[in-house]
Chain A
Amino acid sequence: GENVEQHPSTLSVQEGDSAVIKCTYSDSASNYFPWYKQELGKRPQLIIDIRSNVGEKKDQRIAVTLNKTAKHFSLHITETQPEDSAVYFCAASRGKNSGYSTLTFGKGTMLLVSP
């Protein structure tokens, strides 16, 4: 089955700095890669996702990059703000045309943005 490794487990940055969280996956057939943000005591919520037919996707201050050859993908947050403080999870799965599979999550990264 799929195995997703996520690094770092904790990340502390100053407000305004950039933050990068990296994930690697093992199943070369995986083609769907979402990122979830979970604030303390809340549910995980999708913030961005990418499919294997694109290498990069941006949404305002967040972006995700995908390197299929190396089997890794990364979340980039620019101009971090205190409200970005949360646990971030990456995940991978096979979608349509690739043999379906359920999402496998990384263990999460706790991001702390200090004012």
Chain B
Amino acid sequence: DAGITQSPRYKITETGRQVTLMCHQTWSHSYMFWYRQDLGHGLRLIYYSAAADITDKGEVPDGYVVSRSKTENFPLTLESATRSQTSVYFCASSAGFGSPLHFGNGTRLTVT
């Protein structure tokens, strides 16, 4: 689905550094989501947004910050990266709850 893009695809950072993962969608979907994927845990929701300037916590929000000033963008910031945040991060969008999720290609983040 070319309508949702994430950047960067790969990122290596050091413990304590701030890092921002970008997500952009062109479908004008109201809802956007950030998931992390770890072996043995499946996909866990970090934060989601129902519209511009509306965000809410998911299952594992600690250590993350999000913003949504524009409908098409939903950046995820790790304010002070820790090794436990090493993971694959997926951004997704949908027309609403009860509608299919469309995932981006993911960002593989390594915190050393």
Seen from chain B, the residues whose Cβ lies within 8 Å of a Cβ on chain A are 1, 33, 40-45, 48, 58, 90, 96-106
Contact = CB atoms under 8 A, between A and B. Distances in A.
Interface in A67-115: 89, 93-96, 98, 100-103, 105-108
Contacts of A36: 101
B42 A43 contact: no
The DSSP consensus for interface residues of chain A is loop
Contact of A31 (B40, B48, B96, B98): B98
Given A44-B90, A102-B45, A105-B42, A34 B100 contact: yes
A34 B97 CA distance: 12
B79 to A, nearest CB: 23
A94 to B, nearest CB: 7
A45 interface: yes
A76 B101 CA distance: 21
Given A102-B58, A106-B42, A43 B101 contact: no
B103 A45 contact: yes
Contacts of B99: 95
Contacts of B97: 32, 93-96, 100-102
Contacts of A96: 96-98
Nearest to B94: A103
Contacts of B105: 42-43
B25 to A, nearest CB: 13
Interface string A18-47: 000000000000011010100000111110
